Amino acid sequence: MDEKKLDEREERLEERIQRLEEMEAQVKVREKKLKEKEKSKKQVLLRLAPSLWNDLAAWAEEDFRSINGQIEYVLAMAVKKHKGN
Protein backbone atom coordinates (compact mmCIF):
# COMPACT_ATOMS: atom_id res chain seq x y z
CA MET A 1 0.00 0.00 0.00
CA ASP A 2 1.15 3.48 -0.61
CA GLU A 3 1.57 6.09 2.13
CA LYS A 4 -1.71 7.89 1.34
CA LYS A 5 -3.79 4.73 1.62
CA LEU A 6 -2.09 3.81 4.88
CA ASP A 7 -2.82 7.27 6.28
CA GLU A 8 -6.47 7.02 5.23
CA ARG A 9 -6.78 3.59 6.76
CA GLU A 10 -5.17 4.76 9.98
CA GLU A 11 -7.55 7.72 10.11
CA ARG A 12 -10.59 5.44 9.66
CA LEU A 13 -9.29 3.14 12.40
CA GLU A 14 -8.79 6.08 14.75
CA GLU A 15 -12.36 7.23 14.03
CA ARG A 16 -13.63 3.73 14.84
CA ILE A 17 -11.66 3.68 18.07
CA GLN A 18 -13.11 7.05 19.01
CA ARG A 19 -16.67 5.82 18.29
CA LEU A 20 -16.01 2.69 20.35
CA GLU A 21 -14.72 4.77 23.24
CA GLU A 22 -17.84 6.96 23.05
CA MET A 23 -20.04 3.87 23.02
CA GLU A 24 -18.15 2.44 25.98
CA ALA A 25 -18.72 5.68 27.91
CA GLN A 26 -22.45 5.49 27.10
CA VAL A 27 -22.58 1.88 28.29
CA LYS A 28 -20.89 2.84 31.55
CA VAL A 29 -23.48 5.59 32.12
CA ARG A 30 -26.30 3.12 31.42
CA GLU A 31 -24.76 0.53 33.74
CA LYS A 32 -24.50 3.11 36.51
CA LYS A 33 -28.17 4.05 36.07
CA LEU A 34 -29.19 0.39 36.07
CA LYS A 35 -27.23 -0.28 39.25
CA GLU A 36 -29.00 2.63 40.92
CA LYS A 37 -32.38 1.26 39.82
CA GLU A 38 -31.50 -2.27 40.91
CA LYS A 39 -30.90 -1.12 44.47
CA SER A 40 -34.66 -0.69 44.79
CA LYS A 41 -35.65 -3.95 43.06
CA LYS A 42 -37.70 -6.62 44.79
CA GLN A 43 -36.42 -10.15 45.15
CA VAL A 44 -38.54 -13.11 44.06
CA LEU A 45 -37.94 -16.81 44.51
CA LEU A 46 -38.74 -18.54 41.24
CA ARG A 47 -38.65 -22.25 40.52
CA LEU A 48 -38.25 -23.26 36.88
CA ALA A 49 -38.14 -26.56 35.04
CA PRO A 50 -34.59 -27.40 33.94
CA SER A 51 -35.57 -27.32 30.27
CA LEU A 52 -37.07 -23.81 30.64
CA TRP A 53 -33.96 -22.69 32.53
CA ASN A 54 -31.73 -24.02 29.73
CA ASP A 55 -33.81 -22.27 27.07
CA LEU A 56 -33.72 -19.00 29.00
CA ALA A 57 -29.97 -19.33 29.56
CA ALA A 58 -29.35 -19.86 25.84
CA TRP A 59 -31.59 -16.92 24.94
CA ALA A 60 -29.92 -14.73 27.55
CA GLU A 61 -26.51 -15.58 26.16
CA GLU A 62 -27.64 -14.61 22.66
CA ASP A 63 -28.89 -11.26 23.98
CA PHE A 64 -25.79 -10.70 26.17
CA ARG A 65 -27.89 -10.67 29.34
CA SER A 66 -27.77 -12.56 32.59
CA ILE A 67 -30.48 -15.15 33.12
CA ASN A 68 -32.01 -12.87 35.75
CA GLY A 69 -31.93 -9.99 33.26
CA GLN A 70 -33.52 -12.17 30.60
CA ILE A 71 -36.33 -13.25 32.93
CA GLU A 72 -36.94 -9.62 33.82
CA TYR A 73 -36.95 -8.70 30.12
CA VAL A 74 -39.45 -11.44 29.27
CA LEU A 75 -41.72 -10.44 32.15
CA ALA A 76 -41.53 -6.76 31.20
CA MET A 77 -42.46 -7.57 27.59
CA ALA A 78 -45.39 -9.72 28.76
CA VAL A 79 -46.67 -6.93 31.01
CA LYS A 80 -46.26 -4.37 28.22
CA LYS A 81 -48.21 -6.64 25.84
CA HIS A 82 -50.90 -7.23 28.47
CA LYS A 83 -51.31 -3.50 29.10
CA GLY A 84 -51.58 -2.87 25.37
CA ASN A 85 -54.61 -5.19 25.06
If asked whether residues 23 and 34 sit together in one domain, one would say yes
Which pLDDT tens digit goes with each residue over 61-84? 999 999 999 999 999 999 999 998
3-state SS of 14-80? HHHHHHHHHHHHHHHHHHHHHHHHHCCCCCCCCCCCHHHHHHHHHHHHHCCCCHHHHHHHHHHHHHH
Same domain (yes/no): 34, 48: no
Is the domain of 76 the same as that of 51?
Answer: yes
| Residue 85 and residue 48 in one domain | yes
Residue 16's domain spans which residues?
Answer: 1-41
Rounded average pLDDT over 41-56:
92
pLDDT at 42 over 90: no
CATH number of the domain within which 55 lies: 1.10.1220
| Judgement on whether residues 80 and 52 belong to the same structural domain of the protein | yes
Whether residue 13 is predicted with pLDDT greater than 70 in this model: the reply is yes
Task: State yes or no: pLDDT of 25 exceeds 80.
Answer: yes
